[in-house]
Structure 1
Amino acid sequence: MPSPLAVSDLLSALLLGILEGLTEFLPISSTGHLLIAQHWLGARSDLFNIVIQAGAIIAITLVFRQRLWALATGLGQRENRLYLAKIALAFLVTAVVGLPVRLAGWELPETVSPVAAALILGGVWMLIAERLAERRAPSAEITWKVAVLVGLAQVVAGVFPGTSRSAAAIFMAMLAGTGQRSAATEFVFLVGIPTMFAASGYALLEHFIDGGAQPEAWGELGLAFLAAAVTGFVVVRWLLGYIKQHRYTVFAYYRIALGAALLLWLPTGG
């Protein structure tokens, strides 16, 4: 019979997986929410936090399975080849720029204060970007420029915890010319598939190169991975319908309110 402590650890992992699935694709920063939650549920390894993100990416793969199949089987069409090439370009920009940044250790500490600031600044950035994008003629085109900037936006999100990869990339795409929210969101989500799988694979490689120096609770990691995948699937299906009729404004205000609450909470010693 499992001990109460083991049950508590499993429940903690389950809750963190659900939280990851809820926040990975909403433009509110999964990293920020996981950091905050782990103050109460217990800190987890970098490997845990990155691999459960891959669980959420499984959800994206399932949601877009028909789109991915159409792209894979439609390589005879120039439009599909170009779209896949732009996904590859965005991923390569993230990898080529992001890997040296990671190796150099250029990243703000994942503590409450910088995450709170990133939540607020990101919320303001979203409000401004929505306004600017609406002044342009709506376009569903993904240009080469958009692909490059989406790749760079993912790197920026990795350096500044709390920024939100999806928010940074989606609004960069909208400002760079893809005025339709749905088109920008789809492209960013599809770019996220190779990006997050590569990040998870890199984290696993680092873990095993270190000889597994930091022991990992694989059962808890697996549970969180599954929870993130299931929750992420539901959230993405809902979000894709929501943005057809609504702006991202509500998420911007949520980020600002949460960031302000965290900054007010800091002086109490929390």
Structure 2
Amino acid sequence: MRSRILSSRLTTPIAHVSDLLSALLLGILEGLTEFLPISSTGHLLIAQHWLGARSDFFNIVIQAGAILAVTLVFRRRLWELATGLGDAANRDYVFKLAAAFLVTAVVGLPVRLAGWELPETVTPIAWALVLGGVWMLVAEHYAEKRGDVATITWKVAILVGLAQVVAGVFPGTSRSAAAIFMAMLAGTSRRSSAAEFVFLVGIPTMFAASGYAFMELAMEGGLGNEDWAGVAIAFAAASVTGFAVVRWLMGYIKAHRFTGFAVYRILLGIGLLALMPAQ
């Protein structure tokens, strides 16, 4: 889980950076990278090298801030779905969201309990960034050959659920990238339609994951000795930044491809392999 990333041995804090400024920067970084297809894990790995370690609780809270942001962005769509179950199209869409979430939960929970996850260290994350970038380029190329298809099929819903599990097993993959491009390959070639479905199913998925992590942490007695001012600042920063990023992204992808994000991932992965300590 990404919440363990800031506890690795790479931590070398810069002494003059205050705790509150560090919390602010980490919150902004979480909001910027959680929903873009560029891997928040990879970016936090770099950030913790300079800004120092934070508790698991801190990382759960800033992720919750990002979840709140995407919930606010899609509040009208969520209300429309919740109050429009009498409409067959709305009901079908809600059932497909539920199916994607259930696939993630039913497959993902045993995977998590079994401990099937690559370590959140430089080498596997860097390779996931590079390979994920190549995957994005290939997937978008083949998806565009289908034309402009906005329909979310049951096949898309099931595969999006499985893609979220894969992203959890391979840190650096990016949940949004894995799920969006799986949706596009499976038949929903319109980028905005694929992204909307992935973000909507990500709301219960991420709330459940954060809640589960919080419960584990509470049972282990890991909630004490927190810098609550830093936690509050990071939560607010993640929420505000995440809101702006998702709003921008949904407009951007209506007229642009994901190519720039794919190239960025590849370059970041190569940079991590070349410049960060090999682990």
Task: Give the TM interval when normalised to the shorter protein.
Answer: over 0.9
In structure 1, give the amino acid aligned to 2:89.
E
Task: Note the 1:155-194 alignment, pairs <5 A.
Answer: 155-194=165-204
* 1:215, distance to aligned residue in structure 2 (A): 4.3
CA distance in 2 between partners of 1:20 and 1:256 (Å)? 20
CA distance in 2 between partners of 1:169 and 1:236 (Å)? 16
After the TM superposition, which of the residue ranges 95-104 and 205-214 deviates more from structure 2? 205-214
* 1:216, distance to aligned residue in structure 2 (A): 3.5
CA distance in 1 between partners of 2:125 and 2:221 (Å)? 31
8 Å Cα contact 1:36/1:112 also seen in 2 = no
8 Å Cα contact 2:129/2:265 also seen in 1 = yes
CA distance in 2 between partners of 1:219 and 1:86 (Å)? 40
Matched, 1:36 2:23: no
Task: Note the 1:73-152 alignment, pairs <5 A.
Answer: 73-152=83-162
Map of 2:35 onto structure 1 = 25
* 1:182, distance to aligned residue in structure 2 (A): 0.4
SS at match of 1:189: helix
CA distance in 1 between partners of 2:16 and 2:146 (Å)? 55
SS at match of 1:244: coil
Matched, 1:222 2:251: no
Map of 2:261 onto structure 1 = 251
* 1:218, distance to aligned residue in structure 2 (A): 3.3
8 Å Cα contact 2:168/2:175 also seen in 1 = yes
In structure 2, give the amino acid aligned to 1:197.
F
CA distance in 2 between partners of 1:258 and 1:7 (Å)? 24
In structure 1, give the amino acid aligned to 2:143.
A
* 1:212, distance to aligned residue in structure 2 (A): 2.7
Percent identical pairs in the alignment equals 76
User: With structure 1 as the length reference, what TM-score do the two structures score?
Assistant: 0.94
CA distance in 1 between partners of 2:58 and 2:110 (Å)? 22
Matched, 1:207 2:226: no
CA RMSD in angstroms comes to 1.7
CA distance in 2 between partners of 1:172 and 1:235 (Å)? 22
In structure 2, give the amino acid aligned to 1:122.
G
In structure 2, give the amino acid aligned to 1:152.
L
CA distance in 2 between partners of 1:156 and 1:46 (Å)? 22
Map of 1:240 onto structure 2 = 250
8 Å Cα contact 2:39/2:129 also seen in 1 = yes
Map of 1:65 onto structure 2 = 75
SS at match of 2:207: helix
8 Å Cα contact 2:56/2:217 also seen in 1 = no
Map of 2:276 onto structure 1 = 266
* 1:51, distance to aligned residue in structure 2 (A): 2.8
CA distance in 1 between partners of 2:204 and 2:174 (Å)? 17
Per-residue CA deviation, residues 208-235 of structure 1 (Å, 9 max, x unaligned), is: 1112377443332222111100000111
CA distance in 2 between partners of 1:253 and 1:214 (Å)? 41
CA distance in 1 between partners of 2:86 and 2:229 (Å)? 44
Per-residue CA deviation, residues 141-192 of structure 1 (Å, 9 max, x unaligned), is: 1111111110111111111111000000000000000010000000000011
CA distance in 2 between partners of 1:223 and 1:232 (Å)? 14
CA distance in 2 between partners of 1:163 and 1:57 (Å)? 19
CA distance in 2 between partners of 1:92 and 1:200 (Å)? 16
CA distance in 2 between partners of 1:204 and 1:37 (Å)? 23
Per-residue CA deviation, residues 78-99 of structure 1 (Å, 9 max, x unaligned), is: 1111111111111111111111
SS at match of 2:18: helix
Residues 111 and 81 of structure 1, relative CA distance in 2, 3 Å threshold: same
CA distance in 2 between partners of 1:213 and 1:233 (Å)? 27
User: With structure 2 as the length reference, what TM-score do the two structures score?
Assistant: 0.91
